[in-house]
A and B are shown apart, each in its own frame.
Chain A
Amino acid sequence: MSTKAKIGRYVRYILYGILFISVGGYGIYFVQHPNINDLNRFLINAILGLSIFITLNTGLLSLANAGFMALGAYTSAILVAKMGLPLFLSLPLAMLLCGLLGLLIGLPVLRLTDVYLAISTLGFGEVVRVLIVTTPDLTGGATGANLSTGFPFEKMRQTETWMLVLFLLVLIYLFYWLDRSKTGRALRAIRQNSSAAANMGINVVYYRNLAFVMSAAIAGGAGVFYAHQVGSLENGDFRFSRAVDILSYGVLGGTTHWFGPILGAGLLTVLPIFLREVVGTSLDVIRNFAQLPLIINGVALLLVVIFLPGGLFAPSRFKRTPPAINEAELKDLEPPIVAVDSNPPPGESGEPPPLLELREVTQVFGGITAVDNISFKIPPGIICGLIGPNGSGKTTLINLITGIYRPVKGRIFLRGQDITGQKSYIIARMGIARTFQNIRLFNDMTVLENVIVGHHARIKTNLLTTWLRLPRERQEEQLARRQALSLLKRLGLLSFAYQPASKLSYGDQRRVEIARALALNPALLLLDEPAAGMNEVESALLAEFILALKRQGYTVLVIEHHIDLIMQVSNEIIVLNFGKKIAQDVPVGVQQNPQVVEAYFGQE
């Protein structure tokens, strides 16, 4: 165990210790001085915790939830106290408004790198407060929403504990099933590696927006209950420090399981009350040190992020005793093969169009031409090797084909269809799957789950089927699971199905990547150094496997430094040097090509 993990264990003990002492101590106090407001406040914070959880679980850092909470609170206060709507009607309206606003903010920002969301949400809370202060007729302005500004107290105190419990239970139900659905898997995949997720056909921007909108709506809902719990509102209730509180519920409590943020909310709600009301009554030092809870919060945040990245409550996602696999059940489930189209549309000359065609593709990075005017065609059903010295542009070429980069010049066609500059997830769905030179598996998932992610685009379920538990949901999931298992069987990985992907050997991880890519059912498979880190035996098996893929109708483009492997499997080899194509020929031809020899061994 690493030093960090060891310290992390102690951090967990200490935090649980603080949690139990403060909850226990406060519990004793509570029995003597029952205060339902404290309980309600905890429940509201727990809801807020879940609102931040959904973004953290997607790998997004949002500081907007104090703003959405304010928006929900004021919306409901106005609807209920001024316009006479019942509370339960104002709740969905406020949530809808927050969700829509979340979409408005998320749409432009979430297509950018993740830091932009954090930065822009930091400002959002401020804007909401400016909005509140500058509309006194509607919101009570700087004075606040209270009796003097037309918010009668009796209409503003309607939050009951049972409502909060009910709301929280509904959220837990939704989160529980979400985690077990296609959507939940996609969100976790995005958190772990967004570019790999995109290359598996997951629309990253859509799912990020989905998570952000859900988060906004839930925070708005919490705001509704908050307004009717406190009875009056002030813009100061929703300062930046509130956003930090909400974030802390999630980060401290845990970002991988819905129970984490509830625990975090419990810790951070009870601790200040415990210090003030229980410890503070006998210890003046503590009572006079009002900042102590905040300082503890800050220190805990720091320690957890460094030593306990999953948070306080982070149960392993991996089962100790994996379910038995019924191999017989997988027999008739050889996954559908996209064979070569038997009746391809004829091209201009009557020839079938090539599967992949690059026309004068060029890519420049900071003045360096990484890919220089490259054109080639790959007919369907062949294995094409792509070789060249280090830095000759091989991986860049794959990144261009899969839409990670957009070429500065040139066009790329798949089956005659222009895919230049198309988004990665669409290219993946159109039939191009890939593996990565530096392995990009989803490490917090089992081998099986990794492969199921590859099925993403084909699983026809949605949030409605998930939450209504429609029969289709289970059928689709089971089908995907069985297909994934049979794929694993074909690659000899069945015994690893329920193991964490990160625990496998290098060579096995590469094969899992291939299985995941095959799960997309691609017409073209791009393998980026599949034999790296494999020994002779493994590499020979891989060659067999690649040849088997060809027999099944797949077209494969493979980058590899093991020349033996390339020569053995390829029908055709493309050679790159300094970003230029210097040869495209059958293996023997390439071996005898003086330019290729020169590129590899230098001039004689």
Chain B
Amino acid sequence: MVDASLLTNPVYFLQNLVDGLARGAVYAVFALGFTLIFGVLDIVNLAHAATYMWCAFAGWVVMAVLNMPLVVGLLAAMLFGGLIAVILEFIAFRPLRQEGAERLAPMISSIGVSIIMVSLAEAQFSSQTKKFPSEVLDPKPLYLGGTDGVRVSWAQLLIVVVSIVLMVALGYLIRRTRTGKAIRAVAYSQRAARLLGINVNRVVVVTFFIGGVLAGAAGILVGLLTNNINPNIGADIELRGLAVVILGGLGNIEGAVVGGLCLGLVETFSIAYFDRGSDYKDAIAFLILFLILLIRPNGLFGRQEANRA
């Protein structure tokens, strides 16, 4: 199964560590949006991946068609994600937020929106792949320790920097600001928050905006990393995002970060060290997800007890 010469090669190991961390950072950013919206609203937003896909296209349009610089493309993609998520809140989720609505209804409506979004993307961009021009990001990688050393692409570097900035910013926002306090209050109990004079609908909109921004960031970063944007990229990350969220515990922000990095590393290393790893890589997320549900349904870092049936 395992090639012995690879096992003893430290550069190969470090290379995969770098690749895995970059991949995992994107999973983490994507999963953060998922878990935030679940944590606050108890909703699994299955249109999160479609938002992510549209943001990758938005970033591509800004950078490749309008020839804007990287920073503008990044910000545009994130802003676009926030906007889409807010629109989703208004058309797909708010109408269902009332007494007596079935618990699973928001999930179904998000599937409906997701179908519409993916179909529109297919109609607009056709199914073929879009690529970034080389001016956007230098395709030549950096070498650590000479040309035989570890390769780090500019996209990977960008991912790590942007992810860290976003995670820190999110942590600060949730823990240290008034808005964060309101979000936590709504997450604890919408009714109690309302009684305390918090405008719950406003807080929910803000939460969706933040979730969308995170989806947008993940979308454009993956687009830059793989240089492959098509209407189906959302399907690739959706299950991974959910696996990460379950791994870290539904609604748990720190858990999503650690879970994302774990999944990125496990995937990268299994491709690197196992013969047919790439054939099985799509199943890894599911296996992790299923194992966690089997042994620790609250996630690795979960504190609350998952509601029993």
Contacts and interface: CB of A to CB of B under 8 A. Distances in A.
A301 B309 contact: no
Given A109-B293, A115-B44, A120-B290, A59 B102 contact: yes
B235 A119 contact: no
B286 A298 contact: no
B79 to A, nearest CB: 24
Interface stretch (B70-78, B167-175, B198-206, B275-283): B275-283
A305 B119 contact: no
B112 interface: yes
A16 to B, nearest CB: 19
B82 to A, nearest CB: 21
B263 interface: no
B105 interface: yes
Contacts of A85: none
A112 B306 contact: yes
Given A120-B293, A130-B279, A114 B103 contact: yes
A419 to B, nearest CB: 16
A289 interface: yes
A112 B293 contact: yes
A110 B308 CA distance: 9
A235 B224 CA distance: 29
Interface stretch (A121-129, A257-265, A374-382): A121-129
A112 B307 contact: yes
A302 B282 contact: no
Size class of A's contact patch?
Answer: 35 or more
A251 interface: yes
B14 interface: no
B109 A112 contact: no
Given A112-B293, A205-B309, A291-B119, A301 B112 contact: yes
Contacts of B306: 112-113, 116
B212 interface: no
B191 to A, nearest CB: 12
A112 B280 contact: no
Nearest to B281: A130
Nearest to A63: B111
Contacts of B19: none
B30 to A, nearest CB: 15
A112 B243 contact: no
A295 interface: yes
A302 B91 contact: yes
Contacts of A301: 108-109, 111-112, 115
Nearest to B236: A126
Nearest to A443: B100
Interface string B270-309: 0000001001101101110110011001000000001111
Given A115-B44, A116-B293, A302 B276 contact: no
A120 B309 contact: no
Contact of A134 (B118, B246, B276): B276
A244 interface: yes
Interface in A81-114: 105, 108-114
A165 interface: no
A194 B104 CA distance: 13
A305 B105 contact: yes
Contact of B286 (A59, A126, A240): A126
Contacts of B307: 112-113
A61 interface: yes
A130 B283 CA distance: 7
Interface string B101-140: 1111101110111111011101100000000000000000
A302 B105 CA distance: 9
A305 B98 CA distance: 13
A111 B112 contact: no
Nearest to B101: A309
A291 B289 contact: no
Contact of A302 (B92, B118, B122): B92
Contact of A305 (B44, B112, B283): B112
A18 interface: no
Contacts of A114: 103-104, 309
A188 interface: no
A133 B278 CA distance: 12
B276 A119 contact: no
Contact of B115 (A108, A115, A204, A298): A298
A121 to B, nearest CB: 10
A306 B279 contact: no
B64 interface: no
Contacts of B235: 239-240
B265 to A, nearest CB: 19
Nearest to B246: A119
A299 interface: yes
Contact of B107 (A61, A120, A240, A294): A61
A49 to B, nearest CB: 15
Contacts of B166: none
B239 interface: yes
Contacts of A294: 115-116, 118-119
A118 interface: yes
Given A123-B285, A244-B115, A294-B115, A118 B309 contact: no
Given A289-B123, A295-B119, A306-B109, A122 B280 contact: no
Interface in B128-179: none
Given A127-B283, A306-B96, A119 B289 contact: yes
Nearest to B287: A127
Contacts of B239: 122-123, 126
A133 B309 CA distance: 35
B119 A298 contact: yes
Interface string A324-361: 00000000000000000000000000000000000000
Contacts of B197: none
Interface of A: 4, 59-61, 105, 108-116, 118-120, 122-124, 126-127, 129-131, 133-134, 194, 198, 204-205, 208, 239-240, 244, 247, 251, 289-291, 294-295, 297-302, 305-306, 309, 443
Interface of B: 42, 44, 91-92, 95-96, 100-105, 107-109, 111-116, 118-120, 122-123, 235, 238-239, 242-243, 246, 250, 276, 279-280, 282-283, 285-287, 289-290, 293-294, 297, 306-309
The 7 closest A-B pairs by CB, nearest first: A301-B112, A298-B115, A123-B286, A298-B116, A291-B119, A302-B112, A130-B283
Given A194-B309, A298-B113, 8 more contacts: A60-B104, A109-B293, A110-B309, A126-B283, A127-B286, A134-B279, A301-B108, A305-B108
30 contacts: A59-B102, A61-B107, A108-B293, A109-B293, A111-B309, A115-B42, A115-B44, A115-B107, A116-B297, A118-B44, A118-B107, A120-B289, A123-B290, A124-B286, A126-B283, A134-B279, A134-B280, A244-B111, A247-B108, A247-B111, A294-B118, A297-B112, A298-B112, A298-B113, A298-B114, A298-B119, A302-B109, A302-B116, A306-B92, A443-B100
